[in-house]
Amino acid sequence: MRRNRKVKILATLGPASSEQSVIAALYRAGADLFRINMSHTSHDKLRELVTRIRAVEHEFGRPIGILADLQGPKLRLGTFASGPQMIEIGQRFTLHRGKVDGDRNGVHLPHEDIMDALRPGHRLLIDDGKLRLRTISNDGETAVTEVEVGGKISDRKGISLPDTILTSGAMTEKDHADLLAALDAEVDWIALSFVQRAEDVADVRKIVRGKAGVMSKIEKPQAVERLDEIMELSDALMVARGDLGVEMPLEAVPGIQKRITRMCRKAGKPVIVATQMLESMIQSPVPTRAETSDVATAVFEGADAIMLSAESAAGAYPVEAVETMSRIAEAQERNEYYSSILHAQRPDPQQTGADVISSAARQIAETLGVAAIVCFTSSGATGIRASRERPSTPIIALSPNRAMARRLALVWGLHSVVGDDARSLDDLVDRSCRIAYEEGFGRPGQRIIITAGVPFGTPGATNLLRIAFIGADGLSGI
């Protein structure tokens, strides 16, 4: 089943889309991967969803990626004895380490790590930023704040800390248990929420040990400040614009999105643009014009994937949302300016054999007008480096590793195929021509480009480029 676009679509599963028939409909509509939000998913439900996705994968005969999104630390206030309270701009509001009955003057803060880390000047954003407090003093037992934006405050409202680095890290006990369950279920990607520093990613990598790709969600100012070191340890990044827009000025988010997408492409690491892309389609069968433009912007930026959250998980029109996103993406990729914009963003090849081969393959493919670039990739590196070039020529990523083929379903432009590794150079050429023919990318008489690593089966050793003709029987003609 071949897509008519290069950017991938990641659809979140939920109450509106948990049945196998709906998952199949979402895949048919254009979803390339599925996200399971562990904030709302038990381990039994996780295994059930993975089983259903794998059944859909078998039905369509195509590798489908699965991402398990860890909840991360949920920071919340304590409770108010007399119900919701009104706090006013300029008043003092105290946060207590010890348990107290909350009132308009203060409340218990059931997170000792916050009390340990708060410093004068640090902001606390309450209830998605509707209320804002600024710390005046903190003696470890009580933190006195001044109300900068007031309003109604009530039990268990969420807290965001744009200025504070917590020592507890990004993984809770729940996240650790969820991570082990996700690895046991053989998901393909793990998304880590509320990353603040590279050490948060390193902690997850020690547990994952290469069994899945590790994706860091960039949703905190602290992560933006440490983007280089976080990206170094991550296999992919997600621009999680929802929380990012709470903790940072809204007007800064579009520029940060561009910065992250450009950095990821330069590094050759997949990047997802997420949150509220077609938000109105939770209740409406059509998106707003602004949402359509938002999706188009991510496509023009060369993002590897664009994501649907509640639109596909809990909305009234999950399949229509995927269809709409796919149509928008396809239209932009046909736009006369699309190729020139991607070309202008193209980074120089890094000084590696894989990058030089991938860059040459793209140039030769576009000069000769070949039907496809076929990459033999065991570790995924060859396919990802080919994608980094953003060629106009279709890319087929052939891997003997089914888990890697599923993981590559996230990567821009890659049409993943599972197949045996080549036994010889002649077998490599014949296999490449046959797959290009059978997958509908090339006709007899057309040329393809093949990239691979020799000796065969050596991960990360891209050092071979070959041009071949597709013969009448789908095998190599010359």
Measured CA to CA in angstroms, residue 464 lies from 108, 342, 437, 450 at distances of 63, 26, 21, 8
- Residues with Cβ within 8 Å of 14's Cβ and at least 6 positions away in sequence, in order, are 37, 40, 310, 312, 313, 314
Residue 362, φ and ψ in degrees, nearest 5 = -65, -45
b or e along 329-358 (b: 16 or more beta carbons within 10 Å of the residue's beta carbon)? bbebbeeeebeeebeebbeebeeeebbbbb
Cis-peptide into 270, omega within 30 deg: no
Residue 447, φ and ψ in degrees, nearest 5 = -100, 155
**Of how many residues is the chain composed?**
478
What DSSP letter does each residue of 92-146 carry, written as one string? EEEEESS---BBTTEEE---HHHHHH--TT-EEEETTTTEEEEEEEE-SSEEEEE
Residue 272, phi-psi category: left (phi > 0), alpha (psi -120 to 50), beta (remainder)? beta
Q: Taking the alpha carbons of 323, 324, 327, 333 in that order, is the dihedral positive or negative?
A: negative
Residue 209, phi-psi category: left (phi > 0), alpha (psi -120 to 50), beta (remainder)? left
Of 29, 40, 43, 35, the residue nearest 11 (C-alpha): 35
Q: How far apart are CA 218 and CA 222, in angstroms?
A: 9
Q: How far apart are CA 332 and CA 204, in angstroms?
A: 36
Which residues is 158 bridged to in the sheet? 76
Residue 394, φ and ψ in degrees, nearest 5 = -60, 145
Measured CA to CA in angstroms, residue 44 lies from 23, 48, 191, 313, 425 at distances of 18, 6, 19, 18, 46
Of 434, 432, 436, 385, the residue nearest 413 (C-alpha): 385
Number of H helices, E strands in the chain: 17, 21
**Radius of gyration over alpha carbons of the chain, in Å?**
24
**Between vectors from CA 404 to CA 352 and to CA 338, what angle results, nearest 5°?**
65
Two tokens, residue 392: 């106009």
Q: Indicate which residues carry an active-site annotation.
A: 35, 76, 217, 275
